[in-house]
Amino acid sequence: MIFNNKLQTIFDNNYTFIPIIMTFSFPSMSRKDGNVYVPMGSGIWTSARPPQYSKETQDLLKVMMQESKLTNFQQRQIREQLQSGGALPVQCHPSTSKPQTKAPVSTSRPSKGSVINTRPSLRPAERCRAGDAYEREKFKPQATRDLNKEKSRLQNLMATGKEMPEVPKPPPPQAEGGEEEERDRFDELIAEIQERWDFLEEMESLGRGKQYYNIINTEISQKLREMEIIDKQRSAELREALKKSENRMSAT
Residue 97 lies in a domain: no
| pLDDT at residue number 251 | 64
For residue 150, which amino acid is it? E
CB atoms under 10 Å from CB of 193, counted, come to 21
Instruction: List % helix, strand, coil for the chain (3-state, nearest 5).
Output: 45, 10, 50
Q: How many structural domains are present in the chain? A: 2
Q: Which of 108, 106, 101, 56 is nearest to 82 (CA)?
A: 56
Residue 74 lies in a domain: yes
Which positions ≥6 away from 91 have C-beta within 8 Å?
A: 15, 16
Residue 217 lies in a domain: yes
Q: Which residues of 211-248 are buried (b: 16+ CB within 10 A; e: fewer)?
A: eeeeebeeebeebbeebeeeeeeebeebeeeeeeeeee
236 backbone dihedrals φ, ψ, rounded to 5°: -65, -40
| pLDDT at residue number 26 | 41
Residue 145 lies in a domain: no
Which positions ≥6 away from 112 have C-beta within 8 Å?
A: none
DSSP state for residue 91 in the 8-state scheme: B
**Domain hosting residue 65, numbered range:** 2-39+52-84
| pLDDT at residue number 65 | 79
CA distance 64 to 73: 15
- Can you give the pLDDT of all 252 residues of the chain as single tens digits? 333 333 344 344 444 444 433 434 444 444 444 444 444 544 555 555 556 778 888 788 788 877 877 788 888 888 887 777 777 666 666 666 665 566 556 565 655 555 566 677 787 878 877 777 777 777 666 666 777 888 888 888 888 877 767 666 666 666 554 444 445 787 888 889 889 888 888 888 888 888 888 888 888 888 888 888 877 777 777 778 777 777 766 666
CA distance 70 to 94: 8
Look at the pTM and tell me if it is higher than 0.75: no
Residue 33 lies in a domain: yes
Residue 157 lies in a domain: no
| pLDDT at residue number 44 | 53
Residue 149 lies in a domain: no
Residue 21 lies in a domain: yes
